[in-house]
Chain A
Amino acid sequence: MATVYAFVAHNDGVLDDSAAELAAAAKKFTDAPVTAIVSGSGVDAAAAKAAELFPAVWKMDAAELAYPNAEVVRKALLNNLDAGAVVLMAHNTFGMDLAPGLAVKTGGAFVADVVAIEGADGDTLKVVRQEFGGVVSTHVTVDMSAGAVITIRPGAIAAEEGAAAGGAVEEKAVGDVSAKRKFIEVREPEAGDVDITKAEVLVSVGRGIEDQDNIELAHELAKAIGSQAEVSCSRPIVDAKWMDASRQVGTSGKTVKPKVYLAMGISGSFQHMGGIKGGLIIAVNKNPNAPIFQVANVGIEADILEFIPELTEALGEL
């Protein structure tokens, strides 16, 4: 097998949690040393951190790489990677931007959003992924004989603790990275009317609420629970403009850590669950096979349109 690389994400010298997950993912299919790639501008601290996890580190350090523009980073990588390279990266918004095009340009195979790696048989990698928003899983084989780009779902593969790899950092020239796409700025979302990150209880509704008028049911339940409760939601509710974006929980929304999270009519996609960082998760769903029942602590099979009013009424009688 050709050299295995891990493109690691970082922020101001702090490695993303996914870096250690990529190190663990690589060990599941290769004993060969894995080279971390750290890209950016002024990345000495991040490269030093990566060297604690990986036996070798490439540092691509240039002003043009200050912001992770996928077209620019792809060119910098292609100026350095050897043919047949196997590249791992996180399935985050940057990985989604970079990985497919990189696979085309390196001529290798591509597999995305891997949740488990079962190992390799020669050049054939065996992985597990999910389809239909996590409803079913699949085993997938990837022919790595001409290289591969593999994106790993953040949080899916347990990171290795205290690996202490003591790797050497090697600086790599970036080369010509002129691009037809230019980064302008990052805009932050406007603050909303509520701060769901402070609520102790969240009544969170998903597409199962079916209708804008039914949102009121969630507000009534939150009121019955008390002032420590707020209403939040999954993404389709925000897309339909039934609730403000500041109430969306998930990777592209808010990260929350309530004491109790009531997931009402939410299927449990990883982008939604990625926003819940603690507390007891109680899921109410009419589909007994909903993927959320695999990650929630407590499950109730029920129609939320009937269940929520009954719970609200029972709380009112306490």
Chain B
Amino acid sequence: MEILVCVKRVPDTAENEIELNSAGNDIERDDLVYSVNEWDNYAVEEAIQIVDKVGGTVTVVTVGDEDADEVLRREMAMGAQNGILLNDEAFEDSDAMGVATLLKAAVEKGKYDLILTGAQADAGYAAVGGMLAAMMDLPYASLVNMIEVGDGKLTVGREIEGGNQEINEIELPCVLSIQTGINEPRYVGIKGIRQVSGIEIPEYDADALGVDPATVGAAGAKTKRVDYFIPETGEGAEMLTGSTEEIIAKLIDIMKANGGLK
């Protein structure tokens, strides 16, 4: 099975406190720690496990600048054989449709049986996989938390509300977006990353992809982020302050008053 996994480099919210910059038009990007989008790690792990079972190769692709090379190498250290970087100034500020347009062009340069994306990334659109599938007229399932490989098709479980799982049969080739928890992504150490540091990663710009720059990036975006802001806290929580003993005393009173302590 030839599998392509779409991945993204994102600010790591577990390692940073995301704050606004002084102009208030972006988040503060100095000193941000970046990592691979959480959902994408599960997608790459799943692809590797499928290839371990049925053979084939895993390729990871990302839309980003030179810095995005580090997430491709991290996923290659996990076990993906190939990486592809889609990098051009014209790609900056693409909306989900723009990103899917670029990924479609990259897909068409290869021959893949299965394309995986993470269920969502930092902006929370949960859109790129579904868009890519529709652009390529391939079947699609989102929030996949189980994959069984059959003959020319897959049986996939989708996560739906309330912990239920929706089972579908889907023809190959297809696109799936992967939900967390489907597997346990393997640990990647510095040593593994060093081992793949010499591998050449092909880079494509708009020309090489055959994409009209006007259809992607800020130029092609129908959906545009105007600014970042911190919402007014409105009601907000009553913050308990004081020494730890004082806070705990207040908390115990509050729990008693609300029937939490007998």
Contacts and interface: CB of A to CB of B under 8 A. Distances in A.
Interface of A: 69-71, 74, 92-94, 96-105, 108-113, 129-133, 135-143, 146, 148, 179-189, 200-201, 207, 225-226, 228-229, 235-236, 238-241, 245-246, 248, 251-255, 258-260, 267, 279-283, 287, 289, 292-302, 306-307, 310-311, 314-315, 318
A252 B122 CA distance: 19
B142 A97 contact: yes
Interface residues of B, number: 84
Nearest to B232: A294
Contacts of B222: 108-110, 142-143, 146, 148
Contacts of B169: 181-182, 184
Given A71-B139, A98-B130, A294-B237, 7 more contacts: A104-B131, A131-B124, A139-B225, A148-B222, A289-B17, A294-B233, A315-B261
B247 A93 contact: no
Interface in B151-181: 155, 157-171, 174, 180-181
A141 B224 contact: yes
Chain A interface SS verdict (over half): mixed
Given A93-B143, A131-B124, A289-B19, A180 B227 contact: no
B251 A131 contact: no
The 7 closest A-B pairs by CB, nearest first: A100-B130, A299-B237, A260-B260, A101-B134, A109-B222, A104-B134, A180-B139
Given A132-B18, A184-B168, A235-B180, A140 B223 contact: yes
B211 interface: no
30 contacts: A93-B143, A99-B127, A100-B127, A100-B130, A100-B134, A104-B130, A104-B131, A110-B95, A112-B124, A131-B122, A137-B230, A180-B171, A181-B141, A184-B168, A187-B166, A201-B261, A225-B260, A228-B262, A238-B181, A252-B159, A252-B162, A255-B162, A282-B255, A292-B237, A293-B233, A298-B240, A300-B247, A300-B251, A302-B247, A306-B244
B100 interface: yes
A311 B255 CA distance: 12
A104 B97 contact: yes
A260 B259 contact: yes
Contact of A187 (B130, B167, B238): B167
A115 B40 CA distance: 25
